[in-house]
């Protein structure tokens, strides 16, 4: 593995830059977030994505805006400052609805200012805490997999979506477990799914795995069952992240997670959810209460092509979009892959019922179901760990 780490979020007082994940893996471009509208837009358009990263960018956007001289007139009285912060948080919360981390961070920040509480969270603390949490998730998850694995040295895992350094402040959750196994020399191979329609797997996870020199193979989402049918004796676990875990353990995660959990159970392979405790929503009893974001049709009907030079674009049927970089204008080609006029359903997440989940790995340890019970007791776990 390389010593350098990928960084999705760069922050210092008054300045926030994020790696534009819409351009990866073709181009590495950091964009500056200096206003609430830019922060909101970066989250909504998925320039930054992944439950922890979304929450951190929202908090840091607010931190940057608060020290911007343009905001000063709103901050001349204590009440004016509180009102400004609460309004800003309400606005940032409208960017994406499913991952609870954003709402949890907004709630903690709002509580902090309302109670003038110096113990409230800050965006900078969140950056630091998240990396620590992820390293613990990696440690606990790797330990758990090594304990249950009876298959010898050829230990392989499958993961879905992107849960790595790009989805968090660093290291990652499910990908953190893969990093930990690889770091201990225990991983023989990682498979990552393409993760249609946004391709977080092929564009981002594959990029991280290659960057880290972890032996890995990309499969399309439709190949997972065939892979398990051929190699279930070599697959130690399917490891995924979470956007929201209900009190009973039902888990919302990237669309396609549910079908992976079904195939894992059929092939008798452990299905592991990895998430920080900030992804657990004790306010909801089950996954039925999770609001699933439905995203634009265009994400399914088109593929975003490589960034190409302006004059080498073949025009015609291809839609073309301009992206301004600091240096130059580059072009991203958007290629139609569906018949015009077809209706599209594009839910961004699905809910995996707790009964299909073998264990939930958090920074505080691993949660299991009681014998004979089909759900987790997340409240009991979090209050005793
Ligand atoms: O739509 P995205 O890319 O924000 O969805 C990301 C996922 O579903 C991740 O698995 C989840 O947020 C966990 S990231 C540590």
pLDDT in tens, 249-271: 999 999 999 999 999 999 999 99
Over residues 341-363, the pLDDT tens digits come to: 999 999 999 999 999 999 999 99
Residues in the chain, total: 385
Mutate which of 202, 242, 281, 360 for ligand 1? The one with the most ligand atoms within 8 Å of its CB, which is 242
pLDDT value of residue 123: 84
Mutate which of 18, 52, 241, 281 for ligand 1? The one with the most ligand atoms within 8 Å of its CB, which is 241
**Residue closest to 297 by CA, chosen among 260, 337, 258, 242:** 337
How high is the ipTM of this complex?
Answer: 0.99
Residue nearest to atom 15 of ligand 1 (CA): 163
pLDDT value of residue 96: 97
Ligand 1 pocket (Cβ < 6 Å) reads 49-52, 99, 161, 163, 167-168, 173, 200, 241-243, 253-254, 348
CA of 153 to the centre of ligand 1 (A): 30
243 is catalytic: yes
pLDDT value of residue 5: 67
- The ligand 1 atom nearest the CA atom of 253: 8
Low-confidence ranges of the chain (pLDDT < 50): 1-3, 307-330
User: Are the CB atoms for 167 and 8 separated by under 8 Å?
Assistant: yes
pLDDT value of residue 309: 42
pLDDT value of residue 335: 86
pLDDT value of residue 117: 58
User: Are the CB atoms for 159 and 191 separated by under 8 Å?
Assistant: yes
All structural domains of the chain, each given as residue ranges with its CATH number in brackets, are 9-126 (1.20.120.420), 136-291+347-384 (3.40.50.10470), 298-336 (no CATH)
Q: Please provide the DSSP assignment of 162-222 as one string.
A: --STTTSSSS-SHHHHHHHHHHTT---EEEEE--TTTTIIIIIIHHHHHHTT--EEEE-GG
CA of 77 to the centre of ligand 1 (A): 38
Question: CB neighbours (10 Å) of residue 355?
Answer: 15
0.90 cut: is pTM over it? yes
CA of 253 to the centre of ligand 1 (A): 6
User: Are the CB atoms for 363 and 352 separated by under 8 Å?
Assistant: no
- The ligand 1 atom nearest the CA atom of 172: 15
Out of 243, 250, 281, 350, pick the active-site residue: 243
């Amino acid at each position: 593995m390389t010593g350098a780490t990928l960084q999705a979020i760069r922050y210092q007082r008054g300045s926030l830059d994020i790696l534009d994940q819409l351009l990866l893996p073709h181009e590495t471009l950091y964009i500056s977030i200096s206003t609430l509208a830019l922060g909101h837009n970066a989250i909504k358009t998925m320039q930054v994505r992944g439950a922890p990263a979304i929450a951190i960018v929202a908090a840091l956007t607010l931190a940057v805006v608060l020290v911007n001289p343009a905001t000063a007139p709103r901050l001349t009285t204590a009440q004016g400052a509180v009102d400004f912060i609460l309004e800003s948080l309400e606005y940032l919360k409208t960017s994406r609805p499913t991952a609870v981390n954003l709402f949890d961070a907004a709630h903690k920040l709002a509580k902090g200012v309302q109670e003038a509480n110096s113990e409230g969270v800050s965006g900078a603390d969140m950056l630091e805490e998240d990396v620590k949490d992820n390293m613990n998730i990696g440690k606990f998850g790797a330990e758990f997999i090594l304990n249950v694995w009876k298959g010898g040295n050829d230990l392989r895992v499958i993961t879905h979506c992107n849960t790595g350094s790009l989805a968090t402040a660093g290291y990652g959750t499910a990908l953190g477990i893969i990093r930990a196994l690889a770091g201990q020399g225990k991983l023989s191979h990682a498979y990552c799914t393409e993760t249609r329609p946004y391709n977080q797997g092929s564009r981002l996870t594959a990029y991280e795995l290659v960057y880290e020199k972890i032996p890995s193979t990309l499969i399309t989402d439709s190949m997972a069952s065939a892979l398990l049918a051929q190699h279930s004796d070599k697959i130690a676990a399917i490891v995924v992240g979470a956007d929201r875990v209900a009190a009973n353990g039902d888990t919302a995660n990237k669309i396609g997670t549910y079908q992976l959990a079904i195939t894992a159970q059929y092939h008798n392979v452990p299905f592991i959810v990895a998430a920080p405790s900030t992804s657990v929503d004790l306010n909801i009893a089950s996954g039925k209460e999770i609001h699933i974001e439905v995203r634009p049709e265009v994400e399914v009907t088109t593929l975003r092509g490589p960034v190409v030079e302006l004059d080498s674009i073949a025009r015609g049927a291809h839609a073309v979009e301009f992206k301004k970089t600091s240096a130059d204008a580059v072009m991203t080609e958007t290629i139609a892959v569906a018949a015009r006029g077809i209706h599209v359903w594009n839910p961004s997440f699905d809910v995996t019922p707790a009964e299909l989940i073998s264990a939930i790995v958090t920074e505080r340890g691993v949660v299991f179901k009681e014998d004979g019970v089909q759900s987790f007791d997340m409240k009991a776990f979090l209050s005793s760990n």
